[in-house]
Chains A and B, each alone.
Chain A
Amino acid sequence: MSDVAASEPTKVIEVEDLVAHYGDREILKGVTMDVRDGEIMVIMGGSGSGKSTLLRFLMALEMKTSGRMKILGQDIDTLTSREFTDLRKKLGVAFQGGALFSSLTVGENIMLPLYEHTDLDAMTMEIMARMKLEVVELGGFENLMPAELSGGMIKRAAFARAVVMDPRILFCDEPSAGLDPAVASALDDLILNLRDAMGMSIVVVTHELESAFKIADRITILDRGHILMIGTVEEVRKSSNERIYNLLNRIPDNENLDPDEYLARLTGEDATTWSEPL
């Protein structure tokens, strides 16, 4: 028994029967999955499948309706506010649009988590920020404002900020979206390098098949709030499931078109953004 336990990979995220609603709409319908230590888990699915929503729940940005979730072995329902803040220091996120603070320089953006959570002196923080910028091949760009960077550079800078505290888990939301193939491929290499160099677990949400197959250790495929499959790249490729086949072969699935959701997106009236406290 103990041998079996010893051979099981350590899980950094464990989700069990996660149910989530936005208003009256059920977005996640009993999701059970895990992310292992040191692996790159890619979450895929069609538009409206709930993959970005799932990522928000994995980052503990949303309140679930039911289910259990453990991050780094800690049940998030039992954490105090302080423990929760400490846990978040071990997470890094590279958002789809970068989410760099437009009023700060690139260097200040990267130093912000250090400034807020450590007692390091300014010189040390600057050195650390420069080192992280070197890792993402943006050395020398620390004094520029985010508005002066290209889309690919913004994403790289966002990666530098996400890893500045050496997080245990890195979340990436659509890292290749809106980038040309060469830049997207370079970002995939960066994700692999970060995992190999820093040993962190990485969760990536993407709809880019090429990118997913290049970087994934395992892939989770979501469909309408359900998990269709979790498996390695080969297992996913060989799947006989019709919906997975459609997804991999880019065959449109009109059944996925939820009129309410479509209208909400069109008008920008997302239930989560209505009069929401900070």
Chain B
Amino acid sequence: MTAKKQTNAFISFFERAGRSTIHGIEEIGNGSVMVLESLYWTFFGFTVKQPVRMNAIIQQMMEIGISAIPIIAMLGGAISVTLAIQGIYTLRIFGAESHVTAGLAFVVVREFAPMITGILVAGRSGSALAARIGTMKINQEIDALKVMGISPVRYLVAPPLIAMMVMVPCLSIMSAVFGLFMAGLYINHDLGISLSAYTDQIIDILKVEDILQGLGKSAIYAIEIAVIGVVNGASVSGGAEGVGKATTRSVVQAISAIIVTAMVIVILSTV
């Protein structure tokens, strides 16, 4: 009897694992199709008189980008100052604290600015996208779009996707600049290095490839946030509670995706 129960639990475990895997693959497939479809509508929508509307993109840019500037600047500054403090503390052991700028410049521009920006946009805008699409789905607004002959992907997915692909790299640059400036103020205070000397050091150390790496990562994070938000919103069922669950799931998945992607890229590009 016990052996039979164990066998059943064993089968049940693999059944659940298999189902989750299929679900995951299905969601990745749906997300990929939505990205391709969004690109189609963006570049070829005008050929069938259904362009992606510029005012919708600008509105999304305002929501995703402009209104996020204060919080991203504040967190970018806080993280960079923390890194500067920890860097000076660690390097002081070896008497090399004056080299803190090099590590700081690389880690902020290549990793932390894109990552913090991505995480914040996932929390603010990815979740809002999932909630919006989920609510529209349960209110039959997406069906209404379809029956009106308006592609939901063109109307709902393409504008935030494009807006995120533009705004996340811009916010990431702003976060890096503001963060390095704040860290420079701390370094000036702690080590007595002037801001102009600090700026010269950063300009000497950073190469174009470092900046491009940061921007490239930001663009990838933007796609991940948009796709995860849309896929979770589109899979909503069960009313308001379902919307809440999808919103939470989209934030968790987007942040996880950003961190794992950062690790994979840094392994591929650095090791």
Contact = CB atoms under 8 A, between A and B. Distances in A.
B88 interface: no
Given A97-B139, A273-B236, A278-B234, A91 B242 contact: no
Interface stretch (A13-21, A194-202, A247-255, A262-270): A262-270
Contacts of B144: 93, 95, 99, 101, 161
A89 interface: yes
B147 A274 contact: no
Nearest to B141: A99
Nearest to B152: A278
Interface residues of B, number: 39
A59 B149 CA distance: 11
A217 to B, nearest CB: 23
B148 A95 contact: no
B142 A278 contact: yes
A212 B236 CA distance: 33
Given A82-B48, A278-B156, A88 B148 contact: yes
- The listed residue with most B CB atoms (<10 A of its CB), out of A96, A100, A171, A275, is A275
Interface string B111-151: 00000000000000000000001011101111110111110
Given A93-B144, A270-B237, A277 B242 contact: no
B153 interface: yes
B24 to A, nearest CB: 10
B30 A275 contact: yes
B8 to A, nearest CB: 22
Nearest to A87: B149
B55 to A, nearest CB: 11
A33 B192 CA distance: 86
A93 B150 CA distance: 13
A273 B48 contact: no
A270 B138 CA distance: 12
A258 B123 CA distance: 41
Contacts of B163: none
B175 to A, nearest CB: 29
B237 A274 contact: yes
Nearest to A173: B140
Nearest to A271: B237
B96 interface: no
A276 interface: yes
A99 B237 CA distance: 16
Given A85-B149, A267-B238, A269-B238, A275 B157 contact: no
A278 B230 contact: yes
19 contacts: A88-B147, A88-B149, A93-B143, A99-B139, A99-B141, A101-B144, A113-B148, A116-B148, A116-B149, A116-B150, A117-B49, A270-B237, A273-B137, A275-B27, A276-B234, A277-B234, A278-B133, A278-B157, A278-B234
Interface of B: 23, 26-27, 30, 33-34, 48-50, 133, 135-137, 139-144, 146-150, 152-153, 155-157, 230-231, 234-239, 241-242
